[in-house]
Every structure is written in C-alpha cells, then in structure tokens.
C-alpha cells in the first residue's frame, strides 16, 4: 500500500480545509460582506458537493479508473481558485467559490474509494491514513492563525491556493488500484437505496452536517466577538483537531470493539452537548477547550464510522457512487442547509439560538440512527 503517497494527499487536502473553515468567514467579513452573505457563500462551498461528487463518481465507476479524474479535478480546482484575486463583490466571489469548490469537492470521494481499494481487507485501518489530513488541518490552522494575528486575513487566499497546488502534486504520485471484488447485484444504486437502513444512514449523516453549519461558518466570528484574538482562535481550532488525531490513532480498536453503529450514535449525542456549550458558554475558555475536544467525536469518530458504513453499504462497482452520495448528501446538502440556516438565524436572532438549532439537528440525527441504522444491533 502506498501509505505515504495517500497520506500526503490527505495532508494537503485537509490543510486547505484548515485555511477555509476557520478563516474564510473572517476573510469575507474583512472584505465587507454581511453575516447573511457569509452564510450564503459558505453554503456554496459545501453545496457544490451535491453536483460534482456524483458526476465524478459516475464517471469513475463507468470508466473503471479513478486517479486520472482525481488529478484533473485537483488541477482545475487550483486554476479556478486563482480567480479570487481578480474578482470583487458578492457575485464575483460566489462564482470563483462555486467553480473551485466544485472541482475540489469532486476529488475527495474518489480518493476515499481509492484508499479503501489500496487497504483491501484492512479497511478498519482507514483512520491511520486519514489522520494525516487532521495533521495538515492542525498545521495550517496554527500557522495561519499566527499570520492572521500579525497581518490580518490577507494571506488566507494565498495559503489556500498553495495547498490546492499541493493537492494536485500529491495526486500525481498516487497509483491506480482497481477494486478487488464485484458481486452480482451490487451495481444498482437504486436497489441499494431501497434498503431502509441505508436511507436512515444517509439521513443521519445529513442531519449531523446540518448541525455543523453554524460551527463552520460562524465559530471563528463567534470567538472574535467574545474577545478571543487570532492566536486563540487558531489554537482552539488546532486543539480540536489534535484530539481528533489521537482518536484516529485508535479508531480501528473502537470499531472492532463497539461497531460502527454504536460509535455513530455516541458521536451524534456528543454533538448535541458540544453545540450547547459553544452557543451558551463562549466566554468561558475552559468550556471552549472542552467543546473543541469534542470535535474528536462530532467529526473524528463520526466520519470514520460513517465512511466505514458507506464502504460496507456500497460495495463493488457501486463504491464510487456510494462514497460520492455519502459525501454529497452529508457534507454537501447538509453543509449547505446548515450554513444557510445559520446565516439566517445569526442575522435575525442570536448565536445561542443558532447553535441551539444545531443541537436540535444533531438530536434528530441521533433518533434516526437509533431507530433505523442496523436496528438489530441496538445496545
């Protein structure tokens, strides 16, 4: 298995996410955009996952190859994002974000499928590769936090562009690996989606990402308004992902001992707690440290268990489309809905109401997962 080549891709990919998620909202705010506009633009960033991953997944499953498509998507993402330096105003920024994020979001589900193909029978070791994405996120968040503190948000788009270029370079050295099995009847996505446990799984993932909308769009703004400086903001983001890395190191043991269903349920329950803490006790540093430590559950254990279930639910030649569907409905539709909802609530009400709605969404996701995702394996 080309461990380091796969890991480098994740390092750069989630390093770019570490620049976009904590600091892009602040960058847009400094360009004079309103909270409602910021919520709408962040919705574009995730909303393109509804379009490009299914298209790229269909092309990959039809052609039988993935890496050429991944490389093309990464190159076009970098080239199109460079347009951010030439545009002004909401619609210009929206156009660049739409095109660049469409290609950027197309690459990851196919790389996830490629990673599982390389892992083969060792699928529960996925987290040992994915953890390097978290390392990239931490390094970017910490380094960019220091830059933002001293120079403002001007360096943010340059860092994103450099990391987009790094993603493309990393994709050039990852070899193709065909799936090892194709069972009869595994190819029809329509037939698979008739299964209630798969529909419930996708619904729970969507609701979890709806709950993250306020966090991704407004957490940094929320902290800055409460008096945290740039270094503290970056430090809290980095701390959350650092704890996530520690969990990833033992994720295969958690899955072997408790199973993906139980890990998914605990992750959703802890998300409810996390959003309540962030929304109501932002002034208490110790509480925010605890809330950020829960990122290990709301993203780390949740994503690892969800990607494991997606790999199980969508085998054979449905693999690329299945990973794309999981990515599109959760991070795409869920992320876009969450960002839009957060923008409206933030503008019309308060941070407490916004994060309270996020907690409700996570709670609904828990109920769906408890009732229908592999119900035969209840506690």
Q: What does pLDDT average to in each consecutive run of 10 residues of the chain (379 residues)?
A: 91 95 92 92 87 88 88 98 96 97 93 86 79 91 89 95 97 83 56 92 97 94 94 91 90 90 96 98 97 95 91 78 86 90 94 97 97 72
Return the structure tokens found at 67. Answer: 């890496």
Work out the burial of residue 267: count CB atoms within 10 Å of its CB; fewer than 13 is exposed, 13-18 middle, 19 or more buried: buried
What residues have CB less than 8 Å from 173, skipping those under 6 apart? 2, 5, 8
| Distance in angstroms (rounded) separating the CA atoms of residues 282 and 352 | 10
Of the chain, the end-to-end C-alpha distance in Å amounts to 36
Cβ-based neighbours of 310, under 8 Å, separated by 6 or more: 201, 322, 323, 326
Per-residue confidence (pLDDT) for residue 379, from 0 to 100: 38
d(CA 170, CA 337): 31
Cα–Cα distance measured from residue 362 to residue 99, given in angstroms and rounded to the nearest whole number: 30
Question: Cβ–Cβ contacts within 10 Å for residue 151, how many?
Answer: 11
Distance of alpha carbon 56 from alpha carbon 40, whole angstroms: 25
Residue 113 is predicted with a pLDDT of: 85
| Residue with the two structure tokens 């309103």 | 34
pLDDT of res. 182: 47
pTM value is 0.80
Distance CA 320, CA 315 (A): 9
Residue 77, pLDDT score = 98
pLDDT at 377: 62
What is residue 290's predicted lDDT score, i.e. its pLDDT? Answer: 98
Sign of CA dihedral 42, 276, 292, 326: negative
Going by the DSSP 8-state scheme, the letter that residue 332 receives in this structure is I
9: closest CA among 96, 79, 102, 113? Answer: 113
Q: How far apart are CA 275 and CA 262, in angstroms?
A: 21
Q: How far is CA 80 from the centre of its chain?
A: 21
Q: Tell me, what's the pLDDT at 179?
A: 62
246: Cβ–Cβ under 8 A, 6 or more apart, which residues?
A: 296
Number of residues written out for the chain:
379
**Taking the CA of residue 140 as centre, how many other CA atoms within 13 Å lie in the half-sphere pointing to its CB?**
33
**Short-list 187, 354, 208, CA closest to 272:** 208
Residue ranges of domains in the chain, CATH in brackets: 3-175+190-377 (1.20.1250.20)
């Amino acid at each position: 298995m080309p461990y380091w080549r796969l890991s480098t891709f994740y390092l750069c990919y989630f390093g770019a996410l570490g620049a976009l998620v904590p600091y892009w909202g602040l960058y847009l705010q400094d360009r004079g955009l309103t909270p409602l506009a910021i919520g709408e633009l962040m919705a574009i960033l995730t909303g393109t996952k509804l379009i490009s991953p299914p298209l790229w997944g269909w092309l990959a499953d039809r052609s039988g190859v993935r890496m050429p498509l991944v490389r093309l998507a990464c190159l076009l993402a970098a080239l199109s994002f460079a347009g951010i330096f030439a545009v002004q105003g909401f619609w210009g920024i929206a156009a660049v974000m739409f095109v660049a994020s469409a290609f950027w979001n197309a690459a990851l589900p196919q790389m996830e499928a490629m990673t599982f193909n390389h892992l083969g029978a060792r699928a529960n070791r996925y987290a040992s590769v994915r953890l390097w994405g978290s390392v990239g996120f931490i390094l970017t968040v910490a380094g960019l936090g220091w830059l933002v503190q001293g120079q403002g948000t001007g360096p943010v788009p340059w860092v994103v562009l450099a990391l987009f270029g790094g993603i493309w370079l990393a994709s050039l050295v990852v070899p193709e690996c065909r799936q090892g099995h194709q069972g009869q009847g595994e190819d029809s996505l329509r037939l698979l989606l008739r299964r209630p446990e798969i529909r419930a799984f996708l619904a729970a993932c969507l609701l979890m990402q709806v709950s993250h909308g306020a966090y991704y769009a407004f957490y940094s703004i929320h902290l800055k308004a409460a008096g945290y400086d740039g270094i503290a903001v970056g430090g809290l983001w980095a701390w959350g992902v650092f704890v996530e890395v520690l969990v990833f190191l033992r994720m295969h043991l958690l899955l072997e001992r408790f199973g993906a269903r139980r890990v998914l349920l605990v992750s959703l329950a802890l998300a409810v707690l996390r959003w309540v803490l962030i929304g109501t006790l932002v002034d208490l540093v110790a509480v925010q440290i605890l809330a950020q430590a829960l990122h290990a559950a709301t993203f780390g254990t949740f994503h690892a268990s969800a990607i494991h279930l997606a790999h199980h639910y969508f085998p054979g030649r449905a693999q690329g489309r299945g990973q794309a569907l999981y990515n599109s409905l959760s991070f795409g539709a869920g992320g876009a809905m969450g960002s839009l909802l957060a923008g409206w609530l933030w503008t019309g009400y308060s941070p407490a109401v916004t994060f309270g709605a996020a907690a409700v969404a996570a709670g609904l996701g828990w109920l769906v997962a408890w009732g229908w995702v592999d119900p035969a394996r209840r506690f």
